Amino acid sequence: MTETPYLSIRSVGKSYRGVTALHDIDLDVEQGAFVALLGPSGCGKSTLLQILAGLLEPDHGEVRLAGADITRLPPWKRNIGLVFQNYALFPHLSIRQNVRFGLDMMGMGATEAEARVDEALAMVGLDPGLSRRPDELSGGQQQRVAIARAIAIRPRLLLLDEPLSNLDAVLRQKVRLELRELHNRTGITTIMVTHDQAEALATADRIAVMEAGRLLQYEAPQGLYRNPATAFIAGFIGNPAANLLPVIAHDGASWSLPGGALWQPDAALSPARNGVATGAACRMALRPETLALGPAAPGGLAGRIAAVEFTGGEHLVHVEAGQTRLSVRLPAGTPIEGPDIWLFPPKEGPLLFDANTGRRLPNPN
Ligand SMILES: Nc1ncnc2c1ncn2[C@@H]1O[C@H](COP(=O)(O)OP(=O)(O)O)[C@@H](O)[C@H]1O
Ligand SMILES: [Mg+2]
């Protein structure tokens, strides 16, 4: 017998005037988990989050929380904390009044509510003596107030919709770490919407990747990174993301590349070894940190260095190979001889995807 998940989303679908925003989403979230909903703008992340919050009703499907069907339960009966990109603080209320808002709605007595406000402000690292108005605070502080307001009610779920998007890059990294630490301390089951793959990898226990209203993959960050289910995910996760090399099986031993050049890789990467029929089109994902550069040798791919970016800890080398461009990450200090260079992919386990469906081809054993 499998245990009932804490949050369970079953066949949830939603259309807006004929446009399908969500197709039959199934997702389970364990109690205490931090889950990221990750995908490009317009893929349906906010729609799903609003269904969880009770702000939107799905056209079909069911949402269950702690064993109960909450699909049609109004938001105020769900005990869910919500944080948006734009903070959405009440401008006419003081910081403390903002944080106390949900507690007053619950009808909590003043003494207990004030203690909860102190606790929530301390949790997000704000001075509990703060009596200022929201517009006197910086963006980062305003977002901390919004988070304090959401957690003060001790919610059953904390829902965050792009909570870091309005912050500058430095603050974004700082607050994302604070969110993770807050989660470690409180254990509140958290679902965060983001279009930023680095943010999802850094904070979440599990990432649900969405594209065009569908859930593509639901995995821990490392699993998603190592075993992307589709070319889209491989080309989306990582900094920079995987290079996607378009290849067509020329024969059992070699691939033809865009422009017609032939590449005969190590046997492990050959079409025959990977069960790819001659003439079939694939995309081979090559992670920038797994590629090596060197002088001409068997198995390599001839290229030319177009540019090298120094990022402090490493070099990001941009190599043109025929009509494609690949990025290669090398530790700082690695000697780079160019401009003519050969690229060497790792010899084991290529990530190959069907060029038409985008789906991963099974790895040979
Ligand atoms: N209120 C609405 N009316 C009509 N279409 C909407 C509405 N809200 C969202 N959509 C559409 O639904 C799709 C998913 O939107 P959304 O859930 O906001 O995506 P995301 O949060 O991933 O950017 C998009 O195509 C968007 O244009
Ligand atoms: Mg959104």
Looking up residue 270, the CATH number of its domain turns out to be 2.40.50.140
How many beta carbons lie within 10 A of that of residue 52, not counting itself? 25
CA distance 323 to 349: 24
Same structural domain for residues 47 and 192?
yes
Q: Among the atoms of ligand 1, which is closest to the Cα of residue 46?
A: 21
Domain ends where: 169, 202, 234?
Answer: 234
CA of 140 to the centre of ligand 1 (A): 26
Determine whether the shortest distance from the Cβ of 47 to ligand 1 is under 6 A: yes
Q: Is any atom of ligand 1 closer than 6 Å to the C-beta of 40?
A: no
Strand ranges across the sheet with 292-294: 292-294, 340-344, 301-310, 314-321, 324-331
Strand order in the sheet with 281-286: 262-263, 255-256, 243-249, 281-286, 351-354
Mind listing the pLDDT tens digit for each residue in 208-233? Answer: 999 999 999 999 999 999 999 999 99
Per-position pLDDT tens, the chain of length 365: 567 899 999 999 999 998 999 999 999 999 999 999 999 999 999 999 999 999 999 999 999 999 999 999 999 899 999 999 887 899 899 999 999 999 998 899 999 999 999 999 998 988 877 768 888 888 888 999 999 999 999 999 999 999 999 888 888 999 999 999 999 999 999 999 999 999 999 999 999 999 999 999 999 999 999 999 999 999 999 989 999 999 999 999 999 999 889 999 999 999 999 999 999 999 999 999 999 999 999 999 999 999 999 999 999 999 999 899 999 999 998 888 889 999 999 987 789 999 999 999 987 75
pTM score, two decimals? 0.92
The whole-number pLDDT of residue 219 equals: 97
Of 17, 365, 68, 33, residue with least CA distance to 219: 33
Domain end: 184, 216, 234, which one?
234
Cα(41) to centroid(ligand 2), Å: 6
Indicate whether 223 and 255 sit together in one domain: no
Considering the domain architecture, whether residues 200 and 274 belong to the same structural domain is answered as no
Q: Is residue 359 part of a domain?
A: no
Q: Which ligand neighbours the alpha carbon of 37 most closely?
A: 1
Regarding whether 261 and 218 lie in a shared domain, the answer is no
> Domain for residue 360, yes or no?
no
- Of all protein residues, the one whose alpha carbon is nearest to atom 1 of ligand 1 is 16
**Residues 61, 204: one domain?**
yes
Q: Is residue 225 part of a domain?
A: yes
Q: Which residues pair with 146 in a beta bridge?
A: none
Domain-terminating residue out of 174, 208, 234: 234
d(CA 62, CA 140): 35
Q: Are 39 and 211 in contact (CB under 8 A)?
A: yes
**Atom of ligand 1 lying closest to residue 37 CA:** 22
How far is it, in rounded angstroms, from Cα 51 to Cα 111? 34
Report the C-alpha gap between 139 and 71 in whole angstroms. Answer: 34
Q: Is residue 2 part of a domain?
A: no
Measured from the Cα of 210, ligand 1's closest atom is 22
Angle at 195 between CA 194 and CA 197, to 5 degrees: 95
Co-location of 162 and 251 in the same domain:
no
**Same domain (yes/no): 21, 96:** yes
129 in any annotated domain: yes
Q: What is the CATH number for 174?
A: 3.40.50.300
Range list of β-strands (E), the chain: 7-16, 19-29, 34-38, 60-65, 68-69, 80-83, 157-161, 190-194, 206-211, 214-219, 243-249, 255-256, 262-263, 281-286, 292-294, 301-310, 314-321, 324-331, 340-344, 351-354
* Torsion, Cα of 99, 133, 90, 115 (10° steps): 10
Q: How far is the CA of 41 from the centre of ligand 1 (A)?
A: 9
Q: Are residues 178 and 278 in the same domain?
A: no
364 in any annotated domain: no
Q: Is 41 in the pocket of ligand 1 (CB under 6 A)?
A: yes
135 alpha-carbon distance from chain centroid:
31
29 in the same domain as 102: yes
Measured CA distances, 281 to 216, 236, 249 (Å): 22, 21, 7
Helix (H) or strand (E) holding 111: helix 110-123
| In a shared domain, residues 309 and 163 | no
- For residue 110, being part of any structural domain is answered with yes
Same domain, 209 and 91: yes
| Eight-class DSSP state of 198 | H
For the beta carbon of residue 295, count every other beta carbon within 10 angstroms.
Answer: 9
Taking the CB of residue 82, how many other CB atoms lie within 10 A of it? 23
Structural domain boundaries, residue 226: 7-234
pLDDT in tens, 45-84: 999 999 999 999 999 999 999 999 999 999 989 999 999 9
CA of 42 to the centre of ligand 2 (A): 7
CA of 57 to the centre of ligand 1 (A): 14
Statement to judge: residues 284 and 179 lie in one domain: no
Query: How many structural domains does the chain have?
Result: 2
| Separation of CA 169 from chain center | 17
The CA distance from 365 to 223, in Å, is: 19
Q: Which residue CA neighbors atom 25 of ligand 1 most closely?
A: 42
Residue 189 contacts residue 158 (beta carbons within 8 Å) = yes
Residues with CB under 5 Å of ion ligand 2 are 46
The answer to the question of residue 263 being in a domain is yes
